[in-house]
Structure 1
C-alpha cells in the first residue's frame, strides 16, 4: 500500500492505480523498485511523487530517466484522472526510507528504525531502535533507555509510520 494523502482529491485510488500501472513496466525494465507513491496538495500546488530505489541505491540520472519516461506516458492519458495540474517528482526514498511492504520489514531486520504510533505504549508514541523481528501482527524493537537495553513488542495496527533511521 502506498502513502497517499487526499485533502479533497476525488478518485484518488484511480490515480494511484493508474500511475502504478504506468510506472511499473518502466521500473521492471531497469530492475528498479517502486518504494512509495503519493499524490498530495501542498499549499496551492499538487505533487505526484514517485519514490524509487535499486540494490546499491539510485542516482539522479536514473531518477531523471524514469521521470522522463513516466511523464511521457502521463501526458498520453485520456481521460486524464488528475483533477488539477501537478508537479511530477521522481526521487530516491533516501537513507530514512519508509517501511511499507513485508519485504521492507524483512530487509530492515537488524537495522535501526523509527516508529510513530497511533496510541502511546508505556507513555511514548515514538520509538527508535533495532528491529529484532516482525510478524503479520507485531514487531519487536530493541532500544536503549539510558544505559540499559529493553525490548518491546508493538501491534502493527498501532504503527502510524515506520522508517529506517540514522543512529546518532
Structure 2
C-alpha cells in the first residue's frame, strides 16, 4: 500500500464516525499533490445533497480529529465538499450506485479515433466497464479508462 493510500484509508476511518454523526455518506477521500501543494479532500453526500454548512461542520470535526492523530507529515490543505453533479466514478461502490445512469467515459488512447464515449452504464466487473451507447454496447478494459463521470445533462 502506498503512503497516499495509507493516508486516505486512515482519514476515511477517522471520517466514518463524523459522517454518521452528521448524517452524511463518505463518497471518497483523496490525498493529492497539485502544483506542488498537497490537498486532502473528503467528499461527502446524502440524499438531497449537502450544503455548505454541512461541509463546514464535517470539516471542523475532521480537522480536529486529524490534528489529534497527526499521521500526515506533509503540509496540506483540507477540503470537504460534495462530489458534485458530474461526479467522478472511481470505486466499485460508485459504479454500483450509478448502474442505469448516463456516464462519460474517457480513455487514455483512442479506439477508432475516439477517446470519449457517452452511454448508460449497464455493467462492470474487476476488469471491464460496459455502457450502452447510441451505436450499441461498448465494453472497455478498466486499465484503458482515464476517467468515468456522471453525464451532465442541461
Q: Is TM (by shorter chain) over 0.5?
A: yes
Match of 2:125 in 1: 135
Give the TM-score normalised by structure 1. Answer: 0.79
Say how many residue pairs are matched.
153
Match of 1:94 in 2: 84
Q: Do residues 82 (structure 1) and 82 (structure 2) align?
A: no
Structure 1: stretches of 5+ with no match in the other structure: 1-9
Match of 1:104, SS state, is helix
Match of 2:97 in 1: 107
Shift of 1:51: 0.8
Give the TM-score normalised by structure 2. Answer: 0.85
Match of 1:60 in 2: 52
Match of 1:118, SS state, is strand
Match of 1:3 in 2: none
Question: Residues 57 and 118 (structure 1 numbering): CA distance in 2 closer, same or farther, change over 3 Å?
Answer: same
Question: What is the RMSD computed on CA atoms of the aligned residues?
Answer: 2.1
Match of 2:153 in 1: 167
Matches within 5 A, 1:3-82: 11-77=3-69, 80-82=70-72
Question: Residues 129 and 61 (structure 1 numbering): CA distance in 2 closer, same or farther, change over 3 Å?
Answer: same
Cα distance in 2 for residues equivalent to 1:44 and 1:118: 24
Match of 1:76, SS state, is helix
Question: Residues 109 and 13 (structure 1 numbering): CA distance in 2 closer, same or farther, change over 3 Å?
Answer: closer
Match of 1:73, SS state, is helix
Cα distance in 1 for residues equivalent to 2:35 and 2:93: 34
Q: Deviations over 1:29-60 (max 9, x none)?
A: 33322112122222243211111111221111
| Stretches (4+) displaced over 6 A | none
**Larger-Rg structure:** 1
